[in-house]
Amino acid sequence: MIIDKIEPLREYLNGKRRTGLRVGLVPTMGYLHEGHLSLIRRAKKENNVVAVSIFVNPTQFAPNEDFEAYPRDIARDHALATEAGADVVFHPGVAEMYPPNSSTFVEVGGEMTKVLCGTSRPTHFRGVTTVVNMLFNIVNPDNAYFGQKDAQQAAVIEKMLRDLHLGINIVVCPIVRETSGLAMSSRNKYLSEAEKTAALVLSRSLAAAKRAIDKGQRSSAEIAKMITEQISKEPMAKIDYVSVYSYPDLVAVEKIEARTLVALAVRFGKTRLIDNIIIE
Ligand code: PAF
């Protein structure tokens, strides 16, 4: 079932909640892949009713980014989401979410939205937290599911939950990779075959970093250098950042001691890919 308006979705979910059912939300921008489907399957295990939202959110794209080009295929997404366990797909239009007079944003302050992806995408997280907050208000879920591939996004959303006392449980699920190692992403569709092959350097360099850390390397600078050197050998790759931060508070660390995020963003042609590992 696809619902494209807020009120009927609320009515449907309120009906479920009145009978004591637990509601899980999987927010997505559609063009679903195995990563999304793993979130939906997990949500189905842990909730009675699963709502999947499919909304390419304009406020998280800067004017020069790929909002228009972002891949969309609602018929395919609906079939895949339903098969994975979604009870309802919420697919609103832009005017339903942002009526012409809407002017309110939810913004997590401090440094955590300015570092990593926030440096090259300064308005991105404000768009994400605004729309996620809307989706939480509309769906009122018990649990909401996000992927670790967007590790900074998950950390920012968790901070918003704490700061605004939203009583929702966030579940962050592992990155799903192609057998080649490439992290699944709707944006992989933009890659030419040559770029796709070149992009394997991302997961390879992160895996090498993980091995070095497992062998005792604790210097963030050494780990970042090692990854940077490996990616720089790939002529198609243009590095945006390679960074080592504490997780989930996202402070740059010199030593890998507690929970640490090793994250990167790299461009291949016009496509910007992100990937990461979290060291426990
Ligand atoms: O991760 C995404 O796909 C989006 O940023 C999200 C969380 C659905 C908000 O638009």
Query: What's the average model confidence in pLDDT over 209-214?
Result: 97
Contact 115, 252 (CB under 8 A): yes
Q: Which of 54, 59, 26, 21 is nearest to 40 (CA)?
A: 26
134 lines ligand 1 (CB under 6 A): no
242 lines ligand 1 (CB under 6 A): no
User: Which atom of ligand 1 is the closest one to the Cα of 157?
Assistant: 7
Is 129 in the same domain as 193? no
Identify whether 83 is part of a domain. yes
44 pLDDT band, cuts 50/70/90, is very high
Q: Is 183 strand, coil or helix?
A: strand
Q: Is 178 strand, coil or helix?
A: coil
Q: Where residue 168 sits, what CATH number does that domain have? A: 3.40.50.620
- Amino acid, single-letter form, for residue 130: T
This prediction's pTM: 0.96
Q: Which of 20, 230, 237 is nearest to 142 (CA)?
A: 20
What pLDDT does 111 receive? 97
Find all residues with CB under 8 Å of 192, minimum gap 6, and list them.
Answer: 269
Identify whether 178 is part of a domain. no
Ligand 1 centroid to residue 84 C-alpha, Å? 19
User: Which atom of ligand 1 is the closest one to the Cα of 29?
Assistant: 3
Q: For ligand 1, atom 1, which residue shows the shortest CA distance?
A: 28
Q: For ligand 1, atom 5, which residue shows the shortest CA distance?
A: 128
| First-last CA distance in the chain | 39
User: Which atom of ligand 1 is the closest one to the Cα of 128?
Assistant: 9
d(CA 255, CA 179): 31
pLDDT digits (tens, 9 = 90+) for 165-179: 999 999 999 999 999
State residue 181 phi and psi, 5-degree precision: 110, -20
Whether 78 is catalytic is: no
57 lines ligand 1 (CB under 6 A): yes
Query: What's the average model confidence in pLDDT over 204-218?
Result: 97
Residue 233, domain extent: 186-275
What pLDDT does 170 receive? 98
Identify whether 180 is part of a domain. no
Of 36, 78, 91, 124, which residue is the catalytic one? Answer: 36
pLDDT digits (tens, 9 = 90+) for 99-136: 999 999 999 999 999 999 999 999 999 999 999 999 99
C-alpha Rg value of the chain to the nearest Å: 19
Residue 135, CB-side half-sphere exposure with 13 Å CA sphere: 32
Percent of the chain with pLDDT over 90: 100
Ligand 1 centroid to residue 145 C-alpha, Å? 10
What pLDDT does 265 receive? 98
Only one residue has tokens 């590095």, namely: 239
Find all residues with CB under 8 Å of 274, minimum gap 6, and list them.
Answer: 117, 149, 150, 183, 185, 263, 264, 265
Buried b (16+ CB within 10 A) or exposed e, 202-229: bbbbbeebeebbeeeeeebeebbebbee
Identify whether 28 is part of a domain. yes
141 pLDDT band, cuts 50/70/90, is very high
Query: Does pLDDT of 258 surpass 90?
Result: no
* H-run or E-run covering 242: strand 237-246
Percent of the chain with pLDDT over 70: 100
pLDDT digits (tens, 9 = 90+) for 216-250: 999 999 999 999 999 999 999 999 999 999 999 99
Query: Does pLDDT of 35 surpass 90?
Result: yes
Q: For ligand 1, atom 3, which residue shows the shortest CA distance?
A: 28
CA dihedral 70, 75, 81, 84 (to 10 degrees): -130
What pLDDT does 224 receive? 98
Q: Is 262 strand, coil or helix?
A: strand
- DSSP-assigned letter for residue 255: B
What pLDDT does 218 receive? 97
Ligand 1 centroid to residue 144 C-alpha, Å? 12
Is 45 in the same domain as 72? yes
Q: Where residue 219 sits, what CATH number does that domain have? A: 3.30.1300.10
Structurally, how many domains does the chain consist of? 2
Q: For ligand 1, atom 6, which residue shows the shortest CA distance?
A: 28
Average pLDDT over the chain, rounded to whole?
A: 97
128 lines ligand 1 (CB under 6 A): yes
Is 249 in the same domain as 218? yes
Contact 42, 127 (CB under 8 A): no
Q: For ligand 1, atom 8, which residue shows the shortest CA distance?
A: 28
Ligand 1 centroid to residue 28 C-alpha, Å? 5
